[in-house]
Amino acid sequence: MRLETKAVHAGDRKPAAGQIPVTTPIYTAASYFTESLEELDRIFAREQPGYCYARYGNPTNAALEELVTALENGHGTLACASGMSAIQMALMTALENRPRSIVAAEALYGATVVVLTNVFAPLGIETTFVDICDLAAVERAVAGSQPGCVLLETISNPSLRVAPIDRLAEIAGAAGATLVVDNTFATPVLVRPLELGAHFVVHSVTKFLAGHGDVLGGTVTTDRAHYDALRALARACGQVLGPFESYLTMRGIKTLPLRMERQCANARRIAEWLRAHPVIERVYFPGEPAHPDAATVRRLLPEGLYGALVSFELKGAGRAEVFRFMNRLKLIVRATSLGDVHSLILYPAMSSHRDVPPEQRARLGIRDNLVRLSCGIEAAEDILEDLAQALG
Any catalytic annotation for residue 109?
yes
- Helix 380-391 / helix 256-275 crossing angle, nearest 10 deg: 40
Least confident range from 268-277, 310-319, 361-370: namely: 361-370
Q: Considering the chain, tell me which residue range(s) the CATH 3.90.1150.10 domain(s) occupy.
A: 256-391
Q: What is the mean pLDDT of residues 9-37?
A: 90
**Percent with pLDDT over 90 in the chain:** 90
Fold exhibited by the domain 3-98+170-253: Aspartate Aminotransferase; domain 2 (3.40.640)
Res. 149 pLDDT band, cuts 50 70 90? very high
Q: 239 Cβ partners below 8 Å, 6+ apart?
A: 80, 81, 85, 88, 89
d(CA 149, CA 93): 10
Out of 109, 227, 247, 306, pick the active-site residue: 109
H runs (alpha helix) in the chain: 3-9, 37-44, 59-72, 83-94, 110-114, 135-145, 165-174, 187-190, 224-237, 243-253, 256-275, 294-300, 319-328, 358-363, 380-391
Residue 385: per-residue pLDDT: 98
Residue 356: per-residue pLDDT: 73
pTM: 0.95
d(CA 103, CA 283): 28
Q: Is the pLDDT of residue 357 over 80?
A: no
Q: Is the pLDDT of residue 193 over 90?
A: yes
User: Could you tell me if 148 and 124 are in contact, meaning their C-beta atoms sit under 8 angstroms apart?
Assistant: no
Residue 259: per-residue pLDDT: 98
Sort residue 259 into left (φ over 0), alpha (ψ -120 to 50) or beta.
alpha
Q: Is the pLDDT of residue 18 over 90?
A: no
Residue 358: per-residue pLDDT: 75
Any catalytic annotation for residue 207?
yes
Q: Is the pLDDT of residue 220 over 80?
A: yes
Q: Whole-number mean pLDDT of the chain?
A: 95
Residue 191: per-residue pLDDT: 98
Identify which of 58, 102, 51, 107 has the alpha carbon closest to the alpha carbon of residue 81: 58
pLDDT digit string (tens) for 276-325?
A: 999 999 999 999 989 999 999 999 999 999 999 999 999 999 999 999 99
Out of 42, 46, 55, 235, pick the active-site residue: 55
CATH number of 256-391: 3.90.1150.10
Beta bridge partners of 203: 219
Q: What is the mean pLDDT of residues 329-343?
A: 96
- Helix 59-72 / helix 243-253 crossing angle, nearest 10 deg: 40
Residue 8: per-residue pLDDT: 95
Any catalytic annotation for residue 182?
yes
Q: Is the pLDDT of residue 155 over 80?
A: yes
Look at the chain and count its residues. 392
Res. 116 pLDDT band, cuts 50 70 90? very high
d(CA 52, CA 48): 11
**Percent with pLDDT over 70 in the chain:** 99
pLDDT digit string (tens) for 55-106?
A: 999 999 999 999 999 999 999 999 999 999 999 999 999 999 999 999 999 9
Count helices and strands (H / E) in the chain.
15, 12
Q: Considering the chain, tell me which residue range(s) the CATH 3.40.640.10 domain(s) occupy.
A: 3-98+170-253
Residue 165: per-residue pLDDT: 98
d(CA 305, CA 143): 35
Q: What is the mean pLDDT of residues 16-36?
A: 90
Out of 6, 161, 192, 207, pick the active-site residue: 207
> Hey, CA dihedral for 358, 106, 134, 185, is it positive or negative?
negative
Residue 349: per-residue pLDDT: 80
Q: If you compute the radius of gyration of the chain from its CA atoms, what whole number of angstroms results?
A: 21
Res. 367 pLDDT band, cuts 50 70 90? confident
Give the distance between the most distant pair of CA atoms in the chain.
Answer: 73
Out of 6, 56, 161, 182, pick the active-site residue: 182
Residue 360: per-residue pLDDT: 74
Res. 14 pLDDT band, cuts 50 70 90? confident
Any catalytic annotation for residue 32?
no
d(CA 159, CA 156): 6
Return the SS3 of 89.
helix
Q: What is the mean pLDDT of residues 252-278?
A: 98
d(CA 54, CA 240): 9
Residues 370/373/379/382 CA torsion (nearest 10 deg): -40
Residue 229: per-residue pLDDT: 97
